[in-house]
Structure 1
Amino acid sequence: MTSRKKFERLMAAGGFQLRAAQRDALWRFHEMLREADQKLNLTRIRAFEAMVEKHYIDSLLPGRYTELRSTVMDLGSGGGFPGIPLAIMHPELRFKLVEGRRLRAGFLSNVVRELELGNVEVIARKLNPTDHIPARTLVTRAFASVADTFDRVAGSIDAGGRAVLLKGPNCDEEIAEAAARHPDWVLVDDVHYLLPLSQAERRLLVYERRGARPRRLEPLRSADNPRVRAWKRLTSARGIRKEQKTLLIGDRLIRELLTQQSGRIDTVVTTDPAADYGTASVVAVSKELMHQLDPISGQGPFAVVEAPPLPAWDGALDLERPTLFVATQNPDNVGAILRSADAFGVRRVVLLEEAANPYLPRALRAAGTAPWRLELSHGPTLADLGRRGLPLIGLDVKGTPIDEWGGGEVPPGIIIGLEGPGLADLSESIERVTIPIRPEADSLNAAVAAGIALWEVTRRVHG
């Protein structure tokens, strides 16, 4: 009997008749777990039958014994238990897997992508009592004592929320401690059960939070706090590249990204302890500290947001979709150019070696949320691009008026040069185009000129 068949037989013996898609997903998860475990030490259970029962079957049993209400937070998810199996079995529910260990969180993100689990969000951070990661149901397994767990979720699970805790048989002392320390959490069910194959004893504790204290975050005040120091590093291109995160500043932009791609936001930092940003984790800081953290206005709020590394440009052009090449060094101009590209539907943007990082806070102030919608990549130097013999045009102070160039042809690629030198480093073989202006005027701002050029390109694309 193959391992896959044995897996399915054991799951059926444990009482779970899986649909084909669920069998495929759980088995692929098992394969990924075994492979990653060699490096990450994700589990102490490695015997095949024990893994099936104590990981997969045990993780699914809470859904049989009690109601799970969306959104479900798996706190301290580790190797993905119980969250991943539950998410596979309950696609109608949304899950947040909270894991503070970076490598394990990376593994969980890989699983979510591989299995295409659209109902799962991985939150790669430790949950603190002052954080706000909203959920209606908390699930944990082998995480912490009941009372310590309730300490952690103080700012995240509101009144009416539930906690479903997978425990061993000897947890009476934990229950008593939780009753003394957390009278707002009431034990509503205590299910004693046996694992179906080994007959090992288990208990499922189901709590409900009643009369929770109003959530009010105590502001951080110390510049020496590790999180504060980490946020400060996100104002430089080096820090952004290293951490793969950045700061998106301003309430409107934060809420816009929350609406469009909430999973990209790690934390919202604000001076308002009562601020509500929906599903995002919220941290309050003092006004004095915000002045140090916000490089734009000094007032916040700002969100700590994913800044994925730019893939290398593959060197190809799409003859049906113009590609924009940007060498601009001023972050404000880079941001404005990206905003225009997004507005005019020019999706492919190559940031040349000279260009400012598009995820710098100043660039995002101008770009808004456009960088997370565009197809960004990292390209060569301006000079190297010019030597490749590609059918490009370059926007310059002198050249053919862009509205007269090419007889209505759509250029495969357009280059925006540096402020000041423009396209001085670019081969003369690249044809120059210009935006006509009055002779008395010196030149247009690079971002303004790029916006006009992109409008002309879009006009030609759409006839």
Structure 2
Amino acid sequence: MNKKNVDNFGTRPAPSFNKNSFQGRDNPSEKSMKSILSGCGIHLDDKQARLLWQYHQLLRKFNPDINLTRIHNFSNMVQKLYADSIMPSNFMMLPTPLIDLGTGPGMPGIPLKIVSPDVHIILSESRGKRNDFLRTVISELGLDGIEVLGAGMYPESRIQVNGVITRAVEDIPETLDRISGSLARDGLAIFMKGPECEDEIAKTLRNFKKDYVLEQDTPYVIKGTAHERRLVVFRRVSSPVWQVNIERASELKIKQIESDRNDIFRDLLKLLGGRGIKKAGKTIVSGSKQVFDVLESMPEICEAWITKNDTPPPPDSSPDGMYWFQLAPKLYEELDVFGTKTPLLLVRTPEIEEWNQDAADMGCTLFVPFQDPENVGAVIRSAAAFGVSAVVMLEGSANPYHPKAVRSSGAAVFHVKIYNGPLMENLDADSASGMPIMSLSAEGEDISGYTFPERFGLLAGVEGQGLSDKWRANALSIPINPAVESLNAATSASIALYLWASSTGKK
């Protein structure tokens, strides 16, 4: 932090000055303007004075129609507008490119450009008539390296700059939030403030301590006047999204997708259905918690980070070589079927082996016939929670890696052993392997009194259809209120798994 007073330009308290020292200078002319500025400690060469005078004339010409400034007295215009705009260049080296936020009629941007021609300046102004005025000024003065941004700035703005300067009245923390998407790491946020801004500085240091440090705090008085000012400069120590993108470009393969005819997008759309998942061997994970769980626990299966445009970027822990698909908003919304508005993750699905009943592990093997992917995900979540040995997806069941199944499983689908099994009717209820398969049906034996074998299978009925006669004969039931016809199939299986886990001490 560099807090200093600069004697050349005055310090607080304000020095005495002679009101008569500007006598005769209210007769507007280039000469008198140059004289007033000299009294303020600002010395222009002939070219700079000529350009600033041209600017002044254009400001006076257009002001009645556009209301560019409420200051009309010539001396006041020179001191409070032009001198004030130029002063920051006397206290610091200006960064480039530099955006003048809320420039209005072009201040401080245009006077700064005149005295610092090597600095590329961007004038940010949202009002159309003022933009027209600014373009007229640039053209009439023949200025190079200065442009008009016909818009304001917002957190989602991506105007890649190394500095922002503003003499607007907005609080410092509000402005830092506004420029968060644009100002580069090590870039400077320059605030031209009045003398009493300690509260704003303190609030900024509290709320933005991970993103900014106070680089400079310079109180001063414009020499020859009573105008107390304060130059406050914060240096950014974090990186905006666009800079992260550039830095990570060598690590991640970035692809921008704007058209729904793009082959990558078409392939991604197919992953919203079971057939596409089975054919491609990939699926889409959604929901912030699930995405980061998979990214952290199974980085080797992660293929692509999927976002709307370029925000937010993948975390630093993302595997090298992972793609980053940056989709146009409408395309991203088609993939974000749950409306999470958070990044999606493209992953390879683990290979599903065929079930071998004779090789079943000890404990419980869960057989899943569900056709609703949300039920599949819900029961797999319970299977993981209660420690089943394996989950067997019976023929005709929904794909366990369907996005709906993945989401309802809480990503547990990636943490259990999953196998492909036969049709339900082809299962052997009591094979020579010694693993009985117990089904769940309302007509069965009360499960609360059942003693579970050390090694067994559990089968729930298909949604709506329930079980065939073959499986009803040797079934377990969960007693419920007679007023309720039946339990949800996934819920029934979860209750049975809980009772089994409780009886074996797994719970």
TM-score normalised by structure 1 residue count: 0.51
Q: Does residue 263 in structure 1 map to residue 322 in structure 2?
A: no
C-alpha deviation, 1:462, in angstroms: 1.9
> d(CA) in 2 for partners of 1:427 and 1:218?
52
Partner of 1:413: 457
Please point out which of 323, 346, 358 is paired with 2:388.
346
> d(CA) in 1 for partners of 2:269 and 2:492?
33
Tell me, what secondary structure is at the counterpart of 1:257? helix
Residue 446 of structure 1 aligns to which amino acid in structure 2?
A: A
Q: Aligned in 2, Cα 1:343/1:213: closer, same or farther, shift over 3 Å?
A: closer
Residue 256 of structure 1 aligns to which amino acid in structure 2?
A: D
Residue 241 of structure 1 aligns to which amino acid in structure 2?
A: K
Partner of 1:214: 243
Partner of 2:495: 452
- How is 1:418-437 mapped onto 2 (pairs within 5 angstroms)? 418-424=462-468, 426-429=470-473, 431-437=474-480
Residue 481 of structure 2 aligns to which amino acid in structure 1?
A: R
Please point out which of 400, 412, 429 is paired with 1:358.
400
> d(CA) in 1 for partners of 2:368 and 2:436?
16
Greater CA drift, 297-306 or 212-221: 212-221
Unaligned 5+ residue runs, structure 1? 1-158, 160-211
Residue 412 of structure 1 aligns to which amino acid in structure 2?
A: F
Tell me, what secondary structure is at the counterpart of 1:403? helix
C-alpha deviation, 1:282, in angstroms: 2.4
Partner of 2:145: none
Q: Aligned in 2, Cα 1:319/1:357: closer, same or farther, shift over 3 Å?
A: closer
> d(CA) in 2 for partners of 1:235 and 1:301?
16
C-alpha deviation, 1:352, in angstroms: 0.5
Alpha-carbon contact 2:303-2:345 (below 8 Å) kept: yes
C-alpha deviation, 1:404, in angstroms: 0.7
Q: Deviations over 1:117-157 (max 9, x none)?
A: xxxxxxxxxxxxxxxxxxxxxxxxxxxxxxxxxxxxxxxxx
Please point out which of 352, 361, 367 is paired with 1:325.
367
Partner of 1:303: 345
Partner of 1:143: none
Please point out which of 441, 446, 449 is paired with 1:404.
449
> d(CA) in 1 for partners of 2:487 and 2:329?
39
Alpha-carbon contact 1:350-1:378 (below 8 Å) kept: yes
Q: Does residue 244 in structure 1 map to residue 281 in structure 2?
A: yes
- How is 1:275-286 mapped onto 2 (pairs within 5 angstroms)? 275-278=312-315, 279=318, 280-286=322-328
TM-score normalised by structure 2 residue count: 0.47
> d(CA) in 2 for partners of 1:426 and 1:268?
47
Please point out which of 484, 494, 500 is paired with 1:441.
484
C-alpha deviation, 1:303, in angstroms: 0.9
Q: Deviations over 1:213-272 (max 9, x none)?
A: 724478522111111011011112111111100111122211111111111110010115
> d(CA) in 1 for partners of 2:410 and 2:309?
22
> d(CA) in 2 for partners of 1:339 and 1:242?
24
Greater CA drift, 418-427 or 323-332: 418-427
C-alpha deviation, 1:399, in angstroms: 1.0
> d(CA) in 1 for partners of 2:469 and 2:343?
40
Alpha-carbon contact 2:379-2:494 (below 8 Å) kept: yes
> d(CA) in 1 for partners of 2:503 and 2:463?
27
Q: Does residue 254 in structure 1 map to residue 278 in structure 2?
A: no
State the 4+ residue runs in structure 1 displaced beyond 3 angstroms: 215-219, 386-390, 408-411, 425-429
> d(CA) in 2 for partners of 1:231 and 1:349?
27
Partner of 2:11: none
> d(CA) in 1 for partners of 2:242 and 2:273?
39
C-alpha deviation, 1:409, in angstroms: 4.2
> d(CA) in 2 for partners of 1:303 and 1:452?
32
- How is 1:115-134 mapped onto 2 (pairs within 5 angstroms)? none
Greater CA drift, 333-342 or 453-462: 453-462
Percent identity over paired residues: 31
Q: Deviations over 1:286-343 (max 9, x none)?
A: 2211122233337453111111331100122646221111111111000000001001
Q: Aligned in 2, Cα 1:410/1:402: closer, same or farther, shift over 3 Å?
A: farther
Give the alignment's Cα RMSD to 1 decimal: 2.7
Alpha-carbon contact 1:270-1:284 (below 8 Å) kept: yes
> d(CA) in 2 for partners of 1:225 and 1:272?
15
Unaligned 5+ residue runs, structure 2? 1-184, 186-240, 246-253
> d(CA) in 2 for partners of 1:213 and 1:350?
45
Partner of 1:288: 330
Tell me, what secondary structure is at the counterpart of 1:412? strand
- How is 1:372-391 mapped onto 2 (pairs within 5 angstroms)? 372-386=414-428, 389=431, 390-391=435-436
> d(CA) in 2 for partners of 1:363 and 1:445?
16
Q: Does residue 232 in structure 1 map to residue 269 in structure 2?
A: yes
> d(CA) in 2 for partners of 1:317 and 1:360?
27
> d(CA) in 1 for partners of 2:497 and 2:387?
9
